[in-house]
Amino acid sequence: MRTKLQKEENMSRGRRVGQVLLVVGLIALMATGSLFAEEMVDISKYKKSPPYKVAFDIYYKGNTWGVQLFEEFKAEVARHPDLISDAFYTDSEGNAAKQISNIEDLIVRDPDVLVLTPCSFTAVVPVIEKAYDRGIVVILCAAAADTEDYTSFVNVDDFEYGVTGGKWLVEAMGYKGNVVGFSGIAGLSTAEDRWRGAMSVFEQYPGIKVVAHEYCNWNYVDAKMAMESLIPSHPTINGIWTGAGMMARGAIEA
């Protein structure tokens, strides 16, 4: 029997694989100059005959999700030698300043496509816009940035993700009790939007009290340490909300 935690991890893995496949699919569509979204979008101006040079900045490899996203992307690139001639990789280690520097370096390599997960909703905007203005196809994956100067955005609805988990939790708690929350990387839109979604639910119920909220980088170890430090000061914790399965496991095992 699968536990709820196992189901969350499998859902997260499915979203990650789907995002990688969709990104590679978008690269393939550059050869056709057509794309379906909620409505037909004309991307004929990006049409170019393969092979392409692809640049990918992995935002963070300090959790299993990031590591697998990176490895799956490389594996998909390797499967398409007819489409991709060169692939350039950088690692931002969850740091917006490093990501800005990495993207600057990747721009110099003159890629046809740049794929990144913005480490900050605002800080990396200028360098994203710089790449876009250079005519590079810019694909944002798994997190947003405060600009419209990109080609495509591949993601789930993170606010709704938070809402769904929040609704389940308050119902399981009988609509009263103390909650602690664990989010991913501070400033990353994925983490912030999921927490906003959860809070939009918690705030509807006077009996629900959020006693603590920590950023744990979607990491098992960080979440376990955070929970261990919270328990002495919050002896009564009735519910734990997390933005990913591995943080849930760490909190449970603290």
How does pLDDT run across 136-169, given as a tens digit for each residue?
A: 999 999 899 999 999 988 888 999 999 999 999 9
Q: Which CATH class is domain 4-154?
A: alpha beta
Q: Confidence band (pLDDT; 50, 70, 90) for 121?
A: very high
Count other C-beta atoms under 10 Å from residue 241's C-beta: 26
Q: Which of 158, 60, 73 is nearest to 117 (CA)?
A: 60
Q: What is the pLDDT of residue 220?
A: 94
Locate CATH 3.40.50.2300 in the chain. Answer: 4-154, 158-252
Q: What is the pLDDT of residue 64?
A: 87
Largest CA distance in the chain: 62
pLDDT at 208 over 60: yes
Could you tell me if 250 and 242 are in contact, meaning their C-beta atoms sit under 8 angstroms apart? no
pLDDT at 128 over 80: yes
Q: Confidence band (pLDDT; 50, 70, 90) for 40?
A: low
- Structural domain 158-252, CATH architecture: 3-Layer(aba) Sandwich (3.40)
Tokens 């994956």, residue?
141
Alpha-carbon span 224 to 246, nearest angstrom? 10
| % residues pLDDT > 90 (the chain) | 74
**Taking residues 30-41, what's their average pLDDT?**
46
**Taking residues 94-100, what's their average pLDDT?**
97
Q: What is the pLDDT of residue 11?
A: 39
Backbone torsion region of residue 35, taken as left when φ is above 0, otherwise alpha when ψ lies between -120 and 50, otherwise beta? beta
Q: What is the pLDDT of residue 244?
A: 84
Alpha-carbon span 198 to 200, nearest angstrom? 5
pLDDT at 93 over 80: yes
Q: What is the pLDDT of residue 46?
A: 76
Q: What is the pLDDT of residue 248?
A: 92
